[in-house]
Structure 1
Amino acid sequence: MTGHIFIETTIVVCMHVVGLAMMMALWRLLRGPTLPDRILALDTLSVTAIAELMLFGMHLDSPIYFEAALVIAMLGFGSTVVLSKYVLRRDIVE
């Protein structure tokens, strides 16, 4: 029984740490100073959102959050690729 309490406590602590990482990434997204810094912060924010959803799904023992994390992963990858291509070429569609 104590192992279950230890795991639940660890998940909650990890959720707080990932939340702090999300706030720091949001700070970098808002402050910049350059456009590549902001793109990297947006990518970091999407990865931390995935981690937060996975931890929340483990905390509630619900598989729906894992599917939501998968959708965010696909959108995050696509947005990073598109924004990086825009920065390099100043054009998205070739």
Structure 2
Amino acid sequence: MSALLLLSGGLLGDAAGAGVDAPGLSIHDAAMGVIGVAMVLAVVRLLRGPSLADRVVALDLLAFFSVGLVALIAVVSERAELVIVAVVVALLTFMGTAAFALYLERKGNENAG
């Protein structure tokens, strides 16, 4: 891990983690950027489809990235109550995905029978 930080050439800021403010991106900024790009790509998949299942998976992915973003913001801002928000969103997303899977299973059984 330290070799990766040394190879980054200071792009990620303080490699030693000693609390010294160095110019450049922090690891939190880089992670937020990656999550942001991933969310944009998930929105593209949500809009393009082509099937309903693809759109639901993209929506699930957006919720997953939202949970990660809220958790990252909780770490950066040191606000523990945001972790509760992330857990609630994750649970609601899981229940929605399970409900959609049940819907697809019943729809498949109706078409077969």
Q: TM-score, normalised by structure 2?
A: 0.71
For residue 74 of structure 1, the aligned residue among 65, 83, 91 is 91
Match of 1:52 in 2: 69
1: distance between equivalents of 2:59 and 2:105?
A: 17
Q: Deviations over 1:48-92 (max 9, x none)?
A: 1110001111111111111100000000000111112212213xx
Per-residue CA deviation, residues 28-66 of structure 1 (Å, 9 max, x unaligned), is 112100111111111111111110001111111111111
Q: Which has the higher contact order (CA 8 A, sep 6+)?
A: 1
Please say if residues 53 and 69 of structure 1, whose CA atoms lie closer than 8 Å, have aligned partners that are also in contact: yes
- Gapped regions of structure 2 (runs ≥ 5): 1-13, 108-113
> Is 1:85 aligned with 2:102?
yes
Q: Which runs of 5+ in 1 are unaligned?
A: none
Query: Residue in 2 aligned with 1:37?
Result: 54
CA RMSD between the two structures: 1.7
CA–CA distance in 2 between the matches of 1:21 and 1:64?
25
SS of the aligned residue for 1:65 comes to: helix
Identical-pair percentage: 33
